[in-house]
């Protein structure tokens, strides 16, 4: 067997911050010292390798000299611990209102997955016709600068953005709008309701929009570029989001973990 040295392009302070969260979790559930094969720091590095490098779980098991089932348990535990640190949407909305935020930005993104067989009637629930790929749909809410504030639980890939938003986001965003913080979104959210501002569709019959309406569309599209940048940053920085080989329902924890890790990186 050939051995070699490797490095992980995250700061040590980030790994230590994750290790502290894992240590607090172990203390909370009453794990005794010396009862785990991996310490908190080693488990934190295992998680970071999965999130940053999209390392295969078999490789994580081999490098940590644990069984494959143990590596999966450590990974899923760490994902759940980090995901639990993600804020809830009502909390995010309350902070945005108190801070006098000009507006929020909402968009959906597909997290690609391996092919899964899960049909409802004649429809493959995890296949997105729009993207022509299997995956899970999540909603991402950012501030005006594109910094992710909240990510929704995953919905199967065939779900429309507006449907997912109605399930997970719109009630809280309506409250934000009533307090002067509207949400900007793309045309997929047309009909979402008061406070969800979208570009105006071109009328049927080849009619041309007036100048003020075209100006509004340009404004919304320019502001929406920031939420697209924020989503692209999450997917680029945390490569586990590029394609998920775990159960597609675990996308909820993986995306929430990515948002928490990004917040921790900015903090440390």
pLDDT in tens, the chain (268 residues): 677 677 888 999 999 999 999 999 999 999 888 789 999 999 999 999 999 999 999 999 999 999 999 999 999 999 999 999 999 999 999 999 999 999 999 999 999 998 776 666 667 888 888 888 899 999 999 999 999 999 999 999 999 999 999 999 999 999 999 999 999 999 999 999 989 999 988 877 777 888 888 899 899 999 999 999 999 999 999 999 999 999 999 999 999 999 999 999 988 6
Dist. CA 209–CA 215, nearest whole Å: 10
- Picking from 83, 103, 120, the residue at the C-terminal end of a domain is 83
136 within 8 A of 118, measured Cβ to Cβ? no
Tokens 């080693």 correspond to what residue?
42
Q: What is the number of structural domains in the chain?
A: 2
| pLDDT at site 118 | 67
Indicate whether 188 belongs to any domain: yes
| pLDDT at site 101 | 95
Indicate whether 262 belongs to any domain: no
| pLDDT at site 121 | 62
| pLDDT at site 267 | 82
| pLDDT at site 92 | 96
Find the domain containing 18 and state its range.
Answer: 12-83
| pLDDT at site 3 | 73
Say how many Å lie between the first and final Cα of the chain, rounded.
37
Is the same domain home to 35 and 128?
no
Indicate whether 5 belongs to any domain: no
Dist. CA 245–CA 115, nearest whole Å: 9
Is the same domain home to 128 and 37?
no
Is the same domain home to 16 and 137?
no
- Picking from 37, 65, 83, the residue at the C-terminal end of a domain is 83
Is the same domain home to 32 and 107?
no
Is the same domain home to 17 and 70?
yes
Is the same domain home to 114 and 241?
yes
Q: Is the dihedral of CA 243, 260, 37, 29 positive or negative?
A: negative
Is the same domain home to 117 and 180?
yes
Indicate whether 268 belongs to any domain: no
Is the same domain home to 67 and 123?
no
Indicate whether 2 belongs to any domain: no
Is the same domain home to 116 and 242?
yes
Is the same domain home to 44 and 104?
no
Indicate whether 7 belongs to any domain: no
Is the same domain home to 129 and 31?
no
Strands (E), the chain: 104-112, 119-120, 123-124, 127-128, 133-142, 148-151, 155-156, 183-184, 196-197
Is the same domain home to 97 and 228?
yes
- Residues contacting residue 90 through CB under 8 Å, at least 6 positions apart: 172, 175
Indicate whether 257 belongs to any domain: no
| pLDDT at site 173 | 96
Give the residue among 238, 249, 253 at the shortest CA–CA distance from 14.
Answer: 238
Indicate whether 1 belongs to any domain: no
């Amino acid at each position: 067997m050939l051995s070699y040295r490797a490095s992980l392009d995250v700061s040590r302070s980030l790994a230590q911050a994750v290790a502290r969260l894992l240590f607090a979790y172990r203390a909370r559930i009453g794990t005794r010292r010396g009862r785990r094969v991996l310490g908190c720091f080693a488990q934190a590095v295992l998680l970071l390798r999965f999130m940053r490098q999209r390392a295969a779980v078999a490789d994580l098991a081999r490098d940590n000299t644990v069984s494959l089932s143990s590596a999966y348990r450590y990974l899923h535990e760490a994902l759940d611990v980090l995901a639990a640190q993600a804020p809830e949407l009502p909390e995010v909305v309350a902070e945005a209102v108190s801070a006098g935020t000009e507006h929020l930005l909402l968009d959906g993104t597909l997290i690609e997955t391996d092919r899964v067989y899960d049909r409802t009637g004649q429809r493959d629930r995890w296949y997105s016709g729009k993207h022509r790929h299997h995956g899970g749909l999540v909603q991402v809410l950012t501030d005006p600068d594109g910094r992710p504030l909240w990510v929704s639980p995953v919905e199967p890939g065939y779900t429309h953005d507006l449907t997912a938003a109605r399930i997970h986001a719109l009630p809280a965003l309506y409250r934000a709008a009533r307090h002067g913080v509207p949400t900007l979104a793309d045309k997929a959210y047309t009909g979402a309701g008061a406070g969800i501002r979208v570009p105006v569709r071109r009328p049927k019959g080849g009619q041309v929009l007036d100048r003020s309406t075209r100006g509004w569309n340009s404004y919304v599209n320019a502001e929406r570029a920031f939420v697209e940048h924020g989503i692209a940053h999450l997917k680029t920085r945390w490569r586990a989001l590029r394609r998920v080989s775990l159960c597609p329902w675990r996308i909820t924890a993986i995306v929430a973990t990515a948002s928490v890790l990004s917040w921790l990186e900015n903090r440390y």
